Structure 1
Amino acid sequence: MTTTDTPALADGPFARTVEPALLAPAAPAVPAPFVAAETAADAIELSIVMPCLNEAETLATCIDKAQGYLRRSGVVGEIIIADNGSTDGSQHIAREHGARVVDVPDKGYGAALIGGIAAASGTYVIMGDADDSYDFSDLDAFLERLRAGDELVMGNRFRGGIEPGAMPPLHKYLGNPVLSTIGRLFFRSPIRDFHCGLRGFDRAAIQSLRLQTTGMEFASEMVVKASLEGRRVSEVPTTLKKDGRSRPPHLRSWRDGWRHLRFLLIFSPRWLFLVPGTAAFAIGMLGTLFLSFGPLVVGDIGFDVASQVYLAALAAVGYQGVIFAILTKIFAQHEGFRIPRSRNFDRLERRISLESSALAGVALFLVGLVVGVVQFSVWASSGFGALHAIATVRAAIPAAVLMILGAQTVMAGMFLGVLSVGLKRR
């Protein structure tokens, strides 16, 4: 990532407004406590926010490094510890080392950060974990890009360096690469390390995204929404050290990995469900209808009733994928997630309802039912005797598919009705 040259931070306009109360004095071993009233909120350029849940082992080290950065750079800043209910005295440690503690009762990584960001006064925010895996004494690259106008600046641990043992192999070679690739593919994001915990952003710009998730997927939500809304997003190299705590981390690989993936799926119904679903439905339905008139031969390969059965199943699965994509997008928009809209989808959303879906579904079901009734009548007229199995099945398969699609359409309409009722209540 190419960065622009900026003057030394100590020579900038903020160097003249640094007040001693914000920064720890050099002589004492323990910095003076943070006193918000001594500095006007609009004079603070940088808020360093750390989520905290029982981080007594490493919290003091992280705060001291951040205090050292503020002293060295001359940046007017504050350090905020967003405490999520610590019981090991983390709050006392934070205050002793000059940080401001914000109690966040709602549990979760995302909830703690949302609370900490809301309480911040800085124009910019740099957030990072309080486990001493990130270096808070080296934040120049983040602040430089923020001052240049970037609205979200992500750290990239793969470019900056990962200390041996700092990242589990499952995360390093599978979790992070796969989820970051999905994010870049589905959301056209330039970010190659979606889940780096050290990142900086323009506070007002990020708050305007209305971030909502309370768990670990908060990390993905920030990058996804910023990318979808066309915000200026960039990356800078950063390092990752081994976790300084003696206890296991709060992160749970499979559970939190699934939560990240689930969030990405909600925001990408087009590429995950609509496109493959439409292709599967078209291939399956056309193949089923063609084979209802007789076997087909393509080159040296022949297709008959067995192929028709599998094509019918493909059509049903593809249709379900299309329905799921539509309902997922409607649900996401009703819940306040800002996902890309299109005129075609807006027109479709206005036209589909419980009633229209029910009528369309019943129509499809009746077409299939009519074919079934005709077949039954033919069978009855022959005295319920033996039928030509292949010919009978060849006609029964498309009839069954139409009845299945009709039932799926009716049920999708009912679910859409549930969504609409919930929206009206709010």
Structure 2
Amino acid sequence: MTDVILPCLDEAAALPWVLSRIPPGYRAIVADNGSTDGSADVARAYGATVVDVPQRGFGAAAHAGLRAASADIVCFADADGSLDPAELDRVADPVRTGAADLVLGRRRRTVRGAWPVHARCANAFLAAVLRRRSGVPLHDLGPMRAARRTALLGLDLTDRRFGYPLEMVLRAASAGWRVHEVDVRYGPRAAGTRSKVTGTVRGTARAVRDMGRVLRTETVQ
């Protein structure tokens, strides 16, 4: 069994599709970060384990899901329908076979409007800084990723906001992990929902600010 952690804030419209696409052999853990639209109830109705996370922040939700997981290998993915859980094996298999320690999905748009230009540019900038700082050949700080649970916990991640995904890669690189990248499809969010990050310039700016703080404080050995 592999656990897949889905940080969630008001994704009731997307969860039915997302959870119905979870492959056999995976257990969905929805880390609910204070949803007011019934997301937790929808998740439970589709058989997911729900972790209530009162501390607000993407990192808080992701890390609470990690702590609640029990499988040897864990994956992370967005709960908004932009990523297809049917592709989880693409990130998990290299970890299972021992070919990699941390695998990130490099997002490839399925339609032109799936990834706003301001969000793509911010992601490309941060990935370039990451490559220079760490030497890890990543082009995308993709939200679909996989690693071994105990190893992730051993990184002692502390960011509880949008810097969490970047901190994970920086600390993994510092620990000498083999960090790989594979292509995954990236489509539009579920109808009637809006991203807290890529959907607005303000959300993207907040994520860049949080990740910039991590870049200033983390040193790759």
Q: TM-score, normalised by structure 2?
A: 0.93
Distance 1:164 1:80 in 2: 30
Secondary structure at the counterpart of residue 239 of structure 1: strand
Q: Which residue of 2 aligns with 1:11?
A: none
Match of 2:15 among 59, 64, 81: 59
Secondary structure at the counterpart of residue 138 of structure 1: helix
Q: Which residue of 1 aligns with 2:206?
A: 255
Query: Deviation at 1:162?
Result: 4.5
Match of 2:215 among 260, 264, 277: 264
- CA deviations over 1:215-254 (Å, ceiling 9, x no partner): 1111101111101110121111101101114243211011
Instruction: Say if 2:55 is the partner of 1:99.
Output: no
Match of 1:198 among 126, 140, 144: 144
Q: Which residue of 2 aligns with 1:182?
A: 129
Q: Which residue of 2 aligns with 1:236?
A: 182
Q: Specify the code of the residue in structure 2 equivalent to 1:264.
A: L
Query: Deviation at 1:59?
Result: 0.9
Answer 1 or 2: which has greater helix percent.
1
Query: Deviation at 1:111?
Result: 0.2
Are the aligned partners of 1:65 and 1:136 in contact in 2 as well (CA < 8 Å)? yes
Higher relative contact order (CA 8 A, sep 6+): 2
Q: Which residue of 1 aligns with 2:200?
A: none
Secondary structure at the counterpart of residue 6 of structure 2: strand
Secondary structure at the counterpart of residue 165 of structure 1: helix
Structure 2 alignment gaps of length 5 or more: 198-202
Query: Deviation at 1:110?
Result: 0.3
Are the aligned partners of 2:11 and 2:193 in contact in 1 as well (CA < 8 Å)? no
Query: Deviation at 1:161?
Result: 3.7
Q: Which residue of 2 aligns with 1:113?
A: 62
Are the aligned partners of 2:114 and 2:187 in contact in 1 as well (CA < 8 Å)? yes
Distance 2:61 2:2 in 1: 18
Q: Which residue of 1 aligns with 2:119?
A: 171
Identity %: 33
Q: TM-score, normalised by structure 1?
A: 0.49
Secondary structure at the counterpart of residue 237 of structure 1: strand
Count of aligned pairs between the two proteins: 215
1:292-303 equivalent positions in 2, closer than 5 A:
none
Secondary structure at the counterpart of residue 186 of structure 2: coil
Match of 2:86 among 133, 137, 140: 137
- CA deviations over 1:350-404 (Å, ceiling 9, x no partner): xxxxxxxxxxxxxxxxxxxxxxxxxxxxxxxxxxxxxxxxxxxxxxxxxxxxxxx
Q: Which residue of 2 aligns with 1:122?
A: 71
Q: Specify the code of the residue in structure 2 equivalent to 1:189.
A: V
Secondary structure at the counterpart of residue 55 of structure 1: coil
Q: Which residue of 1 aligns with 2:160?
A: 214
Are the aligned partners of 2:105 and 2:182 in contact in 1 as well (CA < 8 Å)? yes
Secondary structure at the counterpart of residue 44 of structure 2: helix
- CA deviations over 1:307-344 (Å, ceiling 9, x no partner): xxxxxxxxxxxxxxxxxxxxxxxxxxxxxxxx53xxxx
How large is the RMSD of aligned CA atoms in angstroms?
1.3
Q: Which residue of 2 aligns with 1:82?
A: 31
Query: Deviation at 1:94?
Result: 0.7
Instruction: Say if 2:107 is the partner of 1:151.
Output: no
Structure 1 alignment gaps of length 5 or more: 1-44, 269-338, 341-426
